[in-house]
Amino acid sequence: MDIRSGCNQKMQQLDKGRMRIKFLSSQKMRCALGAVTTLLVAACGSSAPTVPVEKPFGLGKGGESVEFDFRVKETYGYRVELHLLFHNADDLREREALIDQLGERIFADGSIGKVGVPISLRVRVKSIEVQGPPVNFDQSTDKLGFVDASKNFATKEVLKISNQKLQPGVYHMRVDNLHPVPQFADRAVRISIQYSEQGK
């Protein structure tokens, strides 16, 4: 073998080595990117708050929206609620006035009060990472449920999420206010996802 052919052979071996290094580097890069993506997904999922979850909302202008992730830990029925906060929880007149505005109370004798101020909402729930079939729930309603009240707020049931019970996992919810409700423009409002009385 002369010097020139020996050099050519060495150069070919060197080129093959460089190509192998590049291939291995790209493989490692893909693996690293995959691992980072997996960690990010897991981190996002782990940061989702567990039901019950409550977020600020608005009703006064129309077009208000809120969206957030939430985590379900057990197979159960879930519902969406509106919470309208009292300005002064100790003011009985204010409490009665707000509850009357919301309407459709069930009284002690079983009778139902008048229809309240109309509220129209759109609720969307989509599964992100669940132990079961995917969920893609989308429903608009202006037929909100009955009113209840706690110490600090009045509650209006919006709807039950789907006819099926949600499986454990992480979900994304978006709620839109479809029409302005000027009667509640100065009222602090929360949208909430809660366990449904349907249970398991």
Q: Where are the domains of the chain?
A: 1-47, 53-195
Q: What is the pLDDT of residue 32?
A: 47
Contacts of 83 (CB under 8 A, 6+ apart): 54, 153, 154, 155, 189, 190, 191, 192
Q: Cα–Cα distances in Å, from 192 out to 37, 54, 70, 84, 171?
A: 30, 4, 11, 11, 14
Q: Report how far residue 115's alpha carbon sits from residue 143's, in angstroms, rounded to the nearest whole number.
A: 10
What digits encode the pLDDT tens for the residues 63-77?
A: 999 999 999 999 999
> Would the pLDDT of 40 be above 70?
no
> Would the pLDDT of 137 be above 70?
yes
Sheet strand arrangement including 169-177: 65-72, 169-177, 121-130, 136-141
Beta strands in 1-152 (DSSP E): 53-57, 65-72, 78-85, 121-130, 136-141, 147-149
Mean pLDDT of 136-162: 88
Mean pLDDT of 182-195: 95
Q: Cα Rg for the chain, rounded, in angstroms?
A: 28
Beta strands in the chain (DSSP E): 53-57, 65-72, 78-85, 121-130, 136-141, 147-149, 153-160, 169-177, 189-195
Contacts of 149 (CB under 8 A, 6+ apart): 95, 99, 155
> Would the pLDDT of 89 be above 80?
yes
Mean pLDDT of 46-62: 93
Q: H-helix or E-strand containing 42?
A: helix 3-47
What is the average pLDDT score of the chain? Answer: 81
> Would the pLDDT of 113 be above 80?
no
Residue 66: both structure tokens together:
């809120």
- Top-ranked range on mean pLDDT: pick from 2-11, 95-104, 185-194: 185-194
Q: What is the pLDDT of residue 12?
A: 61
> Would the pLDDT of 131 be above 50?
yes
> Would the pLDDT of 186 be above 80?
yes
Q: What is the pLDDT of residue 35?
A: 45
Full-model pTM: 0.73
Looking at the domain covering 53-195, what would its CATH class be?
mainly beta
Residue with more model confidence, 144 or 93? 93
Q: What percent of the chain has pLDDT over 70?
A: 70
Beta bridge partners of 157: 81
Confidence of residue 2 (pLDDT cuts 50, 70, 90): low
